[in-house]
Structure 1
Amino acid sequence: MGKYTPMMEQYLGIKEQYKDCILLYRLGDFYEMFFEDALTASKVLEIALTGRDCGQEERAPMCGVPFHAVDNYISRLIENGYKVAICEQLEDPSAAKGIVKRDVVRVITPGTIIDQNMLDEKSNNYLACIYVDKGFGLSYVDISTGDLYVTENISLSDFSVSNENKYSLLKEEISKINPSEVISNTVTENDFIDSMITTVNVPSYAECKAIILKHFNVISLDSFGMSDNNNAVYSLALLINYLNQTQKTSLEHINKLHFYNMGEYLYLDSSTRKNLELIETVRGKKGQGTLYNVLDYTQTAMGGRLLKKWIEEPLKNLNNINNRLDAVEELYNNVMISNNIKESLKSIYDIERLISRIVYGNCNGRDLNALKQSVYGLPDLKIEISELSSQLFKNIYERLDTLNDIYELIDNSIVEEPPIAIKEGGIIKSGYNSELDEIREITIHGKNWISELQSKEREETGIKNLKIGYTKIFGYYLEVTKSYLNLVPDYYIRKQTLANCERYVTPELKEMEAKILNADELMIKLEYELFLKIRQQIKEQVNRIQETAYNIAVVDVLNSLSIAAVKNNYTRPSMNSKGYIKIIEGRHPVIEKIMKNEIFVPNDTYIDNKEHRMSIITGPNMAGKSTYMRQVALIALLSHIGSFIPAKEAEICVLDKIFTRVGASDDLSQGQSTFMVEMSEVSNILNNATENSLLILDEIGRGTSTYDGLSIAWSVVEYITKKIKAKTLFATHYHELSELESKLKSVKNYRILIKETDDKIIFLRKIAEGSVDRSYGIQVANLAGLPGDVIARAKEILTQLDESDINKPFAKKKKDRITDNFQVSLFNEDRIENSKNKEYKELTDSIKNIDINNVTPVKAFTLLNELIDKARHI
């Protein structure tokens, strides 16, 4: 077997260092791929597979893509889970001796994308690093914006972590940040991560510490609050090291570290985020149907990303929550200022990602002009903010840098419509640099001279169609068609013969050509050098620009929340630390938004940490139990992010966690049935909830037999009320659980009101005190359109089951039970007078006091149900 060609030897040597990547090897105007990379890429990219002589008997498989369109191809490779190494020519091929020097200048992975065309503008793209050793450290970064976060162990003292699932907290945090890529010192227990995982070697602690200190150019970790956080140090160092190895360029925009503790935020596990449909619907779709979509009136990409972060990380600090609410309220009450701010924000591009590209060195003149346009409106924005007096806006006003110097620098230097390329000239304004102006004058004068020479030669020679042209190979020439060759003067020097003409030069033309071409080359070179200096000047102000970008994002989010409040008729919640939630006429923010032809029926809620900790809610399917419970959770969550809420009024206590268990599905990949998933979720809640938590539990125990399910539900209610003492909304079909109201003083019964007519039901969507004593499954099935024969047979079977008293262990004695046919004789005066119980008289008095002329239909049904409930309990 012969040796490989020198070029292929170079390729294989570079490929050896990047075995896990698709290597894009620059050859002229193309990026080529060879061998296995070519076989893979040709299928993924759907491009032709060819071959190239490589010094072996068989040609090397090869495919390639044009350099000017490479971003689209890289994007497709990344989307299909591949890493891409970009190998560039490091010297001018015309000046190279032997093989052109080449090397990898950057490795692109799912977590290190900076190209805007490959990113969702209102979503972060995180690269995460997990370090596991007894505890764990977690760091994650969006290199397109420079955002960097680090945490460690995530407040283990606040949670119960079993040996079997010691990574549950890490799993939840990873689920929240949803990274595109993860690196780790181990993959043993990381099967829960859907992202691409890369295992990395771990340097010593001293080396890790040195990596961090060098990157941030500091002498101590104390300023970050990380001095004693070993796992965090390992995680952050591995992350920075990975970035240095893959990006091979400046990371100056990653200059701030946010070291946080999960205890700072209201805890939401992955099930809760999914069930409440905060960012995505339960079907994984973004947009309509999510809380984010309801609140998103942001005008900038930066604001959109920050709004998502606020939704996923609600605050727990009462003062910070009220500061946000104060700011939103001020904009809510000043619609004109809010509209002016909105208009100012519309002209602002994604400054965070613009400055990142500037730092990376892959921006062009259009990017700088986008930054200039973004900066242009900042003085007006600052004037609008100066009219606001809430503390948050005062702070923003003081910190908001209008970046006038950045605007002037770009405005003075970059032409209004620069080309995309930065090495072909035409990018720097006249008047910015005197040397460039002189060279440019030479080229302009020279080209004018050429035009004048053409006119002069036509007149002197009599060759009417003589013209002067130019090609890169032959330079300037005089072109004469063959019909005029007899008029060509002797001093013309033949340069090229074509089919229908001859091309000539003159000593005078050659001399001017040298001046013009030299000036053109000098001008392009100088423009490129000036552009790099301008870029460097802006790069040196990265901290200022990033700070301004963040303040703009905060203003955008606060204004978005105020616009949502105005458009959706929200009100400001009153936050308290007294442990109770009181909501008057609360509504579901998402459902009421997507309802078109119906009016959303509001409901009240009261729950506290004393006598009213748990509400047991009964009622048929589709009546609105889940919607009601979700809306309470969403109203509480909105309050904690500093948003107004869909309610007439509300008082919301500060919570530490919100848990929801609504619906379940199989997880067959993990060998878990629907019921197993349900029990796992309940277990997580019971192990981690506290008396300051809000629990939303829907149909616990439905995945197994009636007796088993009812037993589990009963026991869960007792455990929560007696041991955890969390505020809980508990929806169930087991109406037997309503007996717990008399057994547990902190339990209250509620039901969803319905209207029954001719064996059919109408959902009133209203919550009222009391409970239902039977299910309505057959009626709901009828509404769903089951065949009449099926419905009729179901009724027969139900009658037989009722007679067998299937739920006897949990039923009252028949002599103490009131059947559906029981009717109180309300107006039997003798019975009232002879009764030792005053309840009959109170019942009739309630009826007599009803003002029938001032009762709405919905209120009438409510009153009727209340009266029936009182009668049944006499």
Structure 2
Amino acid sequence: MGTKNKGQPCISEFFKKKETNENGDQKRQKTFTQNTESINSSLKAFENGSSMQSVNKYRTTPLQGKHKINDDEEQRQGNPSKRPKQQNGNHVIGNSKSKPDTRKLTPLEKQFLELKANNRDKILAIQVGYKYKFFCEDAVIASKVLNIVLVPGENNSCDTSSDRFAYCSIPDNRLHIHLRRLLSQGLKVGVVKQMETASIKSVESDNKSGLFVREMTGVYTKATYLGDEDPPRNQNDISMNEDDEGVGDYIVCIDASDKKVGLVAVQPATGDIIYDTFDDDSARNELETRLIFLNPSEILIIGDEEIDIGLKKIVKIITKSGNVINKKRKSESDYRSSINTFFSKSEDIGQYYLLKFASNILSCISELLDYLQEFKLSTMFLIKDNISSFSNAKKYMHLPGSTLQALEVFQNSTDYSTKGTLFWLLDYTKTKMGKRLLKKWVAMPLVLRNLIQDRLDAIDDLSRGYNNFIDSLKNKIVKLGRAGLDLEKSLIKVHYSSSHNVSKIDKKEIYLLLLNLDEISSLFRSFSSQIALFKDSVNSRLLADILQDVLDLSESTVVEKLLKYITPSALDNNQFEQKVYFFNLQNYPDEGILTELEKIKDIEKKLDEELDIIRVQLNRPHLNYVTNLKDAYLIEVRNGKMINDIPSDWIKINGTKTVSRFRSPEVTKLYKELQYHNDALLRNCDIAYGRFLKEVDENYASLKTLSDVIAKFDCLFSLCDLSSSYGYSKPSLTDSFSSIMIEKGRHPIIEKLGSSTQGYIANDIRMSKDNNRVLIITGPNMGGKSSYVKQVALLILMAQIGCYVPCDKATIGIFDSIFVRMGAKDDILRNKSTFMTELQECSNIIRSMTSRSLVILDELGRGTGTNDGIAIAFSVLNYLIEDSAKPLTLFITHFPSLHVFEQNYIGIVSNYHMGYVENYKKGQEFPEVLFLYNLVKGVVSKSYGLNVANLAGIPNSIVRYAFQKAEDMRKEKEELNLLKIISKLKIVSQQSHDKSKAQLEEIFNSIQ
């Protein structure tokens, strides 16, 4: 489906960015750019169908033998004379200054150009013997990223005066380490492997002296690498923990036409597929909400590259990801045809997509199918159960991106880590799949009372007394977490391996997957009668449904059967023996493996017989074969007189100063046959392993259900752990429109970050539609205003996630959305000032709020002049009070004049402030302020900014001067007010007696 490389960035751009960041290295940047043009023109000529001769014209200077890059180079066993000498620094000399002359490309060079011509968007790691090599431009980039030696051609690239291709290399057993480092830099890497061994080639190939067949076996990016190239682990590797950077990242496809946006996100590591279609504004606030949660590392944008440049820019700003790929828009019929083609063997699934989803979702699915095929991951779309909707207004609360950031739900605003966030507070999960599920629960609080009540009741049920089954299950989940096992990830790797005929999961991982699934099933079976009784006693329908799944799964013995095929002891052995002895051939007889084992046994018998002949021939009855490095079946004799006894037709393999090692002609012949059948055995083992993975994958649905049950229990246990904390209470839910009544509520995150609960000041909150619907909160800077309103929002979120809350008592009506406008920040990349950002967020809230919303506005209007700020704050607050939606509103302000709303809307609006005490000390010009952090009725006009300045360490002279200026301004204002009063009194004295009473009353009001 589709064509290769479209929309992919040229990898030379990566190096250009790196080079230009180096101080004063513009000359090297210019040189590299010229070299990049050279290789690109060379490859383009090849790609456009030019003959190899047209490519050869870019090569001059005949290669010297020792510099030829071919398969023979790997056979050199460390001969220093055959290596270029190393200079100071990272580079090695190899530059010959002979005059340019036409040279013929080596077979390996031709093979590289053929591979590169079709894969210009990738760094190619090419297996050559026991190394992986990078050539030309790829080598320059790889050597920089990996900090390894570069053997250059002229000017470190593939240019017209080079006597060889630039290259660098890494050991084949370190590929996985270097691969992860390349991927972490946003590079796309193709791994090219030798598809035949020397022994198989010598027997089966028609061209025995020709070039090894090489194929690209894997293509990887940061989000699509699942540890495919990691070396096999043995059974002694207890933990499955690995460098998971990038593993679990989402890939997102966006189709945005006008205001309508379609989005599909896939998580290759789990097979998770999330879709959504929604209306959005020009600032893409709704898109921002989804991208903040998904945090993708790769993004596809469907549309015209020129028209969608603004969207591309916004997406890069939101995600901070440079890996944004443009996909040209096709017709709807093309997308539908593409989907039909992919699902040609699973038409029912294809029809499911075509009938269920809107056109802007189908376009995203089609592009992702095309994109993922190169990585052999597209078959995740065959699993319908992994597909879910991002937003469902009838089921989940709406939390815009600004709210997630302001409330620090997933990322704190200090160092952008998870510590100090709501997710951090709730996360007591032990397993990776549990952690992922909890993140979804936190991102999507529930809005249906029965579903929220089910989670709250599940906490009660799981915490009620001692339960042997629950205790055993907790221990098993802890054990899974400590071992680093990710059942969900391992299962999807089995699926990819089975459907694409590749091996993305090693033998230890598949064994541990099945072993732990079997242990869980056995646990369920052993407690089946207790589980049935427990199920009938629980109040939570959610927990009852999970327990029913447990009972259903306990009846299956499929995992037990699959485990009998495996020989666990084989996992203690080396890679060869792992492959050969992985299967218990009595339970899993494979004809191909058995046949080769029989042939190998026969050859080994002949080798033993030949050894008996050699013992007689050399008159050494105790002679045995020796193995040196990887060379086996060697006859070792001491140098000296014994060498004279060695027949002339024997072949010397290697030796030292004291011994020499030989093989007789017959041993040489048998050894070659043994090597061939060993390689054939490994090939047959791989084929058998592939069949075994298909059998496991046939049970994917039931095994995934088992994994999901563990994840759900992990999440519920996590909520139980937090809910059992000191001073946490089960919230009561009410059907009344948004209301919140909390006694002695505490900020959960500040409390956890502190050393104890004793130092935290608890506060009440009482808000409803008919009483205290709007709270205007004033008070000194740093008095706790923002922490208080965040506390209110966080307690609502916790309750609707289904968790207990830190308070003495809580009664909460169901909210369908929380909107927060907090903090002062500009957005330079989007050309928005602080005030513009503030008003746009406010505008979004006004357009989106409902009668079940909680609205929090913090210091609206502070981003402009005082008069304009007061006017805007006054007008917005008036709108929130008068609008038909009538949301519950917390309005923090430093404009005390807004207190008049309480008089005009009695019972609806209330003035509160954060308590404080002024502390005057002798000799001080202004008082110190002691914050009480309790909510007090009434309004205050002082913000005590100078106190904050003092706390911030502003020099005393500056603070004193500021205090004096503030006092002068206050006196000037008082004098001006007195002058106005005196002026009015003069007017009264000149008026008739009849009017004096009314005017005097006006004056008295002014004085008040």
Quickly name the TM-score band, shorter chain normalised. Answer: 0.7 to 0.9
Tell me if structure 1 keeps the 8 A contact 2:651–2:665: no
SS in 1 for 2:730: coil
Kindly state the Cα deviation for residue 334 of structure 1 after the two structures are TM-superposed: 4.2
Q: Which residue number in structure 2 is paired with residue 847 of structure 1?
A: none
395-404 vs 743-752, greater mean Cα deviation: 395-404
Over residues 80-132 of structure 1, what are the superposed CA-to-partner deviations in whole Å (9 max), with x where a residue is unaligned?
A: 222223333444563553444444333322332323845359x8411010112
Residue of 416, 424, 435 corresponding to 1:304: 435
Tell me if structure 2 keeps the 8 A contact 1:571–1:646: yes
Tell me if structure 2 keeps the 8 A contact 1:369–1:414: no
Q: Identity rate of aligned residues, in percent?
A: 27
Equivalent AA in structure 1 for residue 719 of structure 2: L
Q: Which residue number in structure 1 is paired with residue 336 of structure 2?
A: 209
2:801 equivalent to 1:641 = yes
Q: Which residue number in structure 1 is paired with residue 633 of structure 2?
A: 476
Q: Which residue number in structure 1 is paired with residue 819 of structure 2?
A: 659
* TM-align CA RMSD: 3.8
637-646 vs 65-74, greater mean Cα deviation: 65-74
CA distance in 1: counterparts of 2:424 and 2:266, whole angstroms: 25
Kindly state the Cα deviation for residue 709 of structure 1 after the two structures are TM-superposed: 1.9
Over residues 243-302 of structure 1, what are the superposed CA-to-partner deviations in whole Å (9 max), with x where a residue is unaligned?
A: 124437754775443245442421111121111111110135323211111111111100
CA distance in 1: counterparts of 2:663 and 2:182, whole angstroms: 51
The 1:9/1:529 distance shift into structure 2, 3 A limit, reads closer
Q: Which residue number in structure 2 is paired with residue 409 of structure 1?
A: 562
Residue of 292, 299, 303 corresponding to 1:182: 299
Tell me if structure 1 keeps the 8 A contact 2:518–2:559: no
CA distance in 2: counterparts of 1:225 and 1:206, whole angstroms: 11
Tell me if structure 2 keeps the 8 A contact 1:751–1:770: yes
The 1:763/1:455 distance shift into structure 2, 3 A limit, reads farther
SS in 2 for 1:105: strand
Residue of 472, 478, 484 corresponding to 1:346: 478
Residue of 507, 510, 515 corresponding to 1:365: 507
Q: Which residue number in structure 2 is paired with residue 87 of structure 1?
A: 192
The 1:479/1:623 distance shift into structure 2, 3 A limit, reads same
SS in 2 for 1:112: coil
Residue of 136, 156, 165 corresponding to 1:35: 136
Over residues 656-684 of structure 1, what are the superposed CA-to-partner deviations in whole Å (9 max), with x where a residue is unaligned?
A: 21111221222223333322322222222
Q: Which residue number in structure 2 is paired with residue 555 of structure 1?
A: 713
Kindly state the Cα deviation for residue 215 of structure 1 after the two structures are TM-superposed: 4.7
Q: Which residue number in structure 1 is paired with residue 71 of structure 2?
A: none
Q: Which residue number in structure 2 is paired with residue 837 of structure 1?
A: none
799-808 vs 7-16, greater mean Cα deviation: 799-808
Over residues 478-497 of structure 1, what are the superposed CA-to-partner deviations in whole Å (9 max), with x where a residue is unaligned?
A: 43435784997x99985549
Tell me if structure 2 keeps the 8 A contact 1:86–1:107: yes
CA distance in 2: counterparts of 1:393 and 1:495, whole angstroms: 73
CA distance in 1: counterparts of 2:909 and 2:216, whole angstroms: 67
Equivalent AA in structure 2 for residue 345 of structure 1: I
21-30 vs 323-332, greater mean Cα deviation: 21-30
SS in 1 for 2:580: coil
Tell me if structure 1 keeps the 8 A contact 2:517–2:706: no
CA distance in 2: counterparts of 1:478 and 1:420, whole angstroms: 25
Q: Which residue number in structure 1 is paired with residue 388 of structure 2?
A: 258
Q: Which residue number in structure 2 is paired with residue 578 of structure 1?
A: 736
567-576 vs 747-756, greater mean Cα deviation: 567-576
TM-score by length of 1: 0.83
590-599 vs 432-441, greater mean Cα deviation: 432-441
CA distance in 2: counterparts of 1:420 and 1:523, whole angstroms: 15
Equivalent AA in structure 2 for residue 376 of structure 1: D
CA distance in 1: counterparts of 2:588 and 2:351, whole angstroms: 46
2:276 equivalent to 1:151 = yes
Over residues 687-725 of structure 1, what are the superposed CA-to-partner deviations in whole Å (9 max), with x where a residue is unaligned?
A: 222221111111112222322222222222111111142
**Superposed counterparts of 1:812-851, under 5 Å:** none
Tell me if structure 1 keeps the 8 A contact 2:447–2:816: yes
Equivalent AA in structure 1 for residue 944 of structure 2: Y
CA distance in 2: counterparts of 1:509 and 1:551, whole angstroms: 58
2:876 equivalent to 1:716 = yes
The 1:475/1:111 distance shift into structure 2, 3 A limit, reads closer
Q: Which residue number in structure 2 is paired with residue 587 of structure 1?
A: 746
CA distance in 2: counterparts of 1:221 and 1:516, whole angstroms: 49
**Superposed counterparts of 1:156-555, under 5 Å:** 156=279, 162=281, 164-165=282-283, 167-186=284-303, 187-190=308-311, 191-194=313-316, 195=321, 196-213=323-340, 215=342, 217-219=346-348, 223=352, 226-227=355-356, 229-247=358-376, 250-251=379-380, 254-256=383-385, 257-259=387-389, 261-263=391-393, 264-334=395-465, 336=467, 339-348=471-480, 349-358=485-494, 359-360=496-497, 361-379=503-521, 382=524, 383=527, 386=532, 387-388=534-535, 389=538, 390-400=540-550, 401=553, 404-416=557-569, 417-418=571-572, 421=575, 425-429=580-584, 431-433=586-588, 463=620, 466-470=623-627, 476-481=633-638, 485=642, 494-496=650-652, 500-501=658-659, 520=678, 523-555=681-713
CA distance in 2: counterparts of 1:741 and 1:781, whole angstroms: 31
744-753 vs 283-292, greater mean Cα deviation: 283-292
Kindly state the Cα deviation for residue 397 of structure 1 after the two structures are TM-superposed: 2.5
CA distance in 2: counterparts of 1:711 and 1:683, whole angstroms: 16
Kindly state the Cα deviation for residue 600 of structure 1 after the two structures are TM-superposed: 1.4
Residue of 718, 722, 725 corresponding to 1:564: 722
Tell me if structure 1 keeps the 8 A contact 2:349–2:384: no
Q: Which residue number in structure 2 is paired with residue 834 of structure 1?
A: none
CA distance in 1: counterparts of 2:131 and 2:460, whole angstroms: 57
SS in 1 for 2:889: strand
Kindly state the Cα deviation for residue 778 of structure 1 after the two structures are TM-superposed: 2.7
SS in 1 for 2:820: strand
SS in 2 for 1:537: helix
CA distance in 2: counterparts of 1:807 and 1:411, whole angstroms: 95
Tell me if structure 2 keeps the 8 A contact 1:150–1:236: no
Tell me if structure 1 keeps the 8 A contact 2:252–2:264: yes
CA distance in 2: counterparts of 1:747 and 1:131, whole angstroms: 44
626-635 vs 731-740, greater mean Cα deviation: 731-740
CA distance in 2: counterparts of 1:793 and 1:394, whole angstroms: 69
The 1:525/1:37 distance shift into structure 2, 3 A limit, reads closer
Equivalent AA in structure 2 for residue 800 of structure 1: D
Q: Which residue number in structure 2 is paired with residue 702 of structure 1?
A: 862
Kindly state the Cα deviation for residue 553 of structure 1 after the two structures are TM-superposed: 1.1
Equivalent AA in structure 2 for residue 60 of structure 1: F
SS in 2 for 1:599: coil
SS in 2 for 1:805: helix
SS in 2 for 1:247: coil
Tell me if structure 2 keeps the 8 A contact 1:318–1:654: yes
Q: Which residue number in structure 2 is paired with residue 111 of structure 1?
A: 223
Kindly state the Cα deviation for residue 522 of structure 1 after the two structures are TM-superposed: 5.9
Over residues 51-75 of structure 1, what are the superposed CA-to-partner deviations in whole Å (9 max), with x where a residue is unaligned?
A: 4698964132222333332222222
The 1:446/1:335 distance shift into structure 2, 3 A limit, reads farther
Residue of 144, 147, 151 corresponding to 1:46: 147
Tell me if structure 2 keeps the 8 A contact 1:585–1:603: yes
Equivalent AA in structure 1 for residue 270 of structure 2: T
Tell me if structure 1 keeps the 8 A contact 2:427–2:718: yes
CA distance in 2: counterparts of 1:699 and 1:296, whole angstroms: 32
CA distance in 2: counterparts of 1:45 and 1:482, whole angstroms: 44
Tell me if structure 1 keeps the 8 A contact 2:778–2:894: yes
The 1:284/1:381 distance shift into structure 2, 3 A limit, reads farther
Equivalenced residues, count: 805
Q: Which residue number in structure 1 is paired with residue 91 of structure 2?
A: none
Over residues 827-848 of structure 1, what are the superposed CA-to-partner deviations in whole Å (9 max), with x where a residue is unaligned?
A: xxxxxxxxxxxxxxxxxxxxxx
273-282 vs 491-500, greater mean Cα deviation: 491-500
Residue of 92, 114, 137 corresponding to 1:13: 114
SS in 1 for 2:314: coil
Equivalent AA in structure 1 for residue 222 of structure 2: P
Tell me if structure 1 keeps the 8 A contact 2:263–2:361: yes
Equivalent AA in structure 1 for residue 703 of structure 2: I
Equivalent AA in structure 1 for residue 548 of structure 2: E
Equivalent AA in structure 2 for residue 755 of structure 1: V
The 1:341/1:735 distance shift into structure 2, 3 A limit, reads farther
2:275 equivalent to 1:125 = no
